[in-house]
Structure 1
């Protein structure tokens, strides 16, 4: 197959290291075969600082019969990953609609799931980790349909304790069975296991913590069985004790983690447990609650607290992966990821580090590190192009210029509904 060349004014490779400028990428058979600063290529020395030139100046390569795509005023970066979504749910804020969607049959949800996946790809998101839904509709959809271009990892239905929070995304262990036994009996064809181990954040009482839903022993047995099945575990947990139990029992990731405290961050760093903070959920809540209301104030305080934790977690070496909780109140599919990255930068991450959380770190968490997450030699040519330099990120993610999946440009689709 002929070689393809891509030139970009700037490159963010997904590793968290500083951006490079004037980069030429060579692709063969869908894989990146070389990646060089243009100024280091002697055979193209006359084209140094190509970012200031027009596409026509690539005539030297085109004259050799090679495919060349030039983006001299753009940034190229890896395809993005959202590590926490609920594809069967909408991010709309009308509570009547939010309740009604929980009653949808699969036939009603199927086209909505499809549209949300397609919208995500149009915005450069190439992998999604779904946290479950009450009907198991997303898992069923993924089993029955081709989602080429977007790798969707599904939990199916999550697990919760009887009488506790989580009915809209999970089920309880079968009567007379332990959590671990129920997981073994209902493993379906899932990609990971979702366990709910706390309640949700209170908008009436700042910092209120709930008790763990499962004991440390129950979680440890469940995580062991998950590993035996080759499955990772994602745990919804807020508060010190629910997070501590999950981390000490051996989970792979903590979802949300509000008010978990520094001791838990140290445990996570020591055990290399991922954290998916979903901070934008609180910003969305703040934006849609009446200004000055107790709920608005509480959401604002929780956001500030979470940003402080995120900054401290980075200092302690906790692995952070970007996830939005898309489908929750005010958190729209696709567009929410850029908002989450803005909050990471506000918490102290550089642009490149924040992008790393939505690329290489997410790929490691999802087990996709050989397919997604980095732009480097030997990696598949999965990347996106956005206008302007890295300093324009993550705002420029709102209008992705081009999406390439294994060296093939994906055509954009128009979307009207604000999911």
Structure 2
């Protein structure tokens, strides 16, 4: 027997980037949206009065798709305690399991129902997913890279492993046995916090990266590339990668190429905001971190003009970047760069779901599951109202 629900919302942001709809009514059959009607007050309909139809009253709330964080590190917390960070990096699976579970709960509390993990030193997140999927009592979907690839002697050991010198990157990807969801490649270093705009050399050349992306494609894996600076990003985009992670100081030409090739950008701008806080806490100068943040905000303005596909990601697990909570701060940075709330929500929902290859999240339109979050009040309170989530719903059923 079919179960029918009527969901009356005060305001609906459907995840597509379209304008906010007021008094939208969702008709849901067996957890799937069958129809969306305008102005429930003018069209209460017989169905809403039918005792066999469940009615959910969210007339004083804004509903939007469940959120997606497209760049996290679940085995690491946002702690600024360096001793604790080192313990988390080198811990065994047992303690890591507890940390990962805690972070998933934090994402759920923030309305995040899917995350893309960018790798950890021991592939604990991938092991956690293999052990616990389906995640009992935890509806947050995990997409994991396992361990990232980096050149020997270059940045990347915190999130992965160095390439064996006896193999090419392409060969390593072809021979990899870990059942990851995507491939993570590190193609630059970190951003300097003492010299503005300093660019590190690429870790892999164009031929190496193109062959690696092709090998990943052949195995059905998308490729996410950590890259900052003009040349590292240019090589990654030309190689056909699916997303650029971070992308600080990559410049307009790279953004234009990304728009033309539909390469996703995951800006993780909140990391620089967090570094400002972290440096202040330890008594160090924050000027360069602030300049880095300002420049990333300027790049976001250009990306919006060029229509670069942007998926919101926080790099949660970096110093002072907390799981779940950081998504609110990243949204604010996008809005400071000129993105409307509808565009910002699209980056944090539909675009993220597209990048992760998740078909049952991202939109609240006919044919999609009624999986959404409700926040008190009208959309003018967003994104701050995400601190006070009224409810999280999975296929029309409340889960938190």
Secondary structure (helix, strand or coil) at the match of 1:386 reads strand
- Residue in 1 aligned with 2:345? 355
Secondary structure (helix, strand or coil) at the match of 1:77 reads strand
Shift of 1:169: 0.4
Equivalence map 1:11-410=2 (5 Å)? 11-38=12-39, 42=43, 44=45, 61-145=48-132, 146-147=134-135, 148-290=138-280, 295-368=285-358, 370-410=359-399
Q: What's the CA shift string for 1:189-242, capped at 9, x where partnerless?
A: 110000000000111111100000001100000000100000000000000000
The question of whether the paired residues in 1 share the 8 Å contact of 2:275 and 2:289 is answered with yes
Unaligned runs of 5+ in 1: 45-58, 412-419
Structure 2 CA distance for partners of 1:138 and 1:405, relative to 1, 3 Å: same
Q: What's the CA shift string for 1:24-44, capped at 9, x where partnerless?
A: 111111110011112586454
Shift of 1:322: 0.1
Secondary structure (helix, strand or coil) at the match of 1:139 reads helix
My pick for the range that moved more, 106-115 or 79-88, is 106-115
The question of whether the paired residues in 2 share the 8 Å contact of 1:203 and 1:294 is answered with no
Distance 1:40 1:241 in 2: 56
Q: What's the CA shift string for 1:77-117, capped at 9, x where partnerless?
A: 00100000000001011112112211211000101101111
Shift of 1:2: 2.3
Distance 1:18 1:299 in 2: 35
Structure 2 CA distance for partners of 1:77 and 1:43, relative to 1, 3 Å: closer
My pick for the range that moved more, 282-291 or 134-143, is 282-291
The question of whether the paired residues in 1 share the 8 Å contact of 2:224 and 2:244 is answered with yes
The question of whether the paired residues in 2 share the 8 Å contact of 1:204 and 1:294 is answered with no
- Residue in 2 aligned with 1:9? 10
Secondary structure (helix, strand or coil) at the match of 1:289 reads helix
Normalised to the residue count of structure 1, the TM-score between the two structures is 0.92
Secondary structure (helix, strand or coil) at the match of 1:159 reads strand
Report the number of matched residues. Answer: 396
- Residue in 2 aligned with 1:414? none
Secondary structure (helix, strand or coil) at the match of 1:74 reads strand
Q: What's the CA shift string for 1:261-314, capped at 9, x where partnerless?
A: 001001101111000000000001112222896641111000000000001111
Structure 2 CA distance for partners of 1:9 and 1:298, relative to 1, 3 Å: same
Shift of 1:187: 4.1
- Residue in 2 aligned with 1:50? none
Secondary structure (helix, strand or coil) at the match of 1:134 reads coil
Distance 1:80 1:60 in 2: 30
Distance 1:241 1:90 in 2: 31
Structure 2 CA distance for partners of 1:40 and 1:287, relative to 1, 3 Å: same
Unaligned runs of 5+ in 2: none
Structure 2 CA distance for partners of 1:294 and 1:336, relative to 1, 3 Å: same
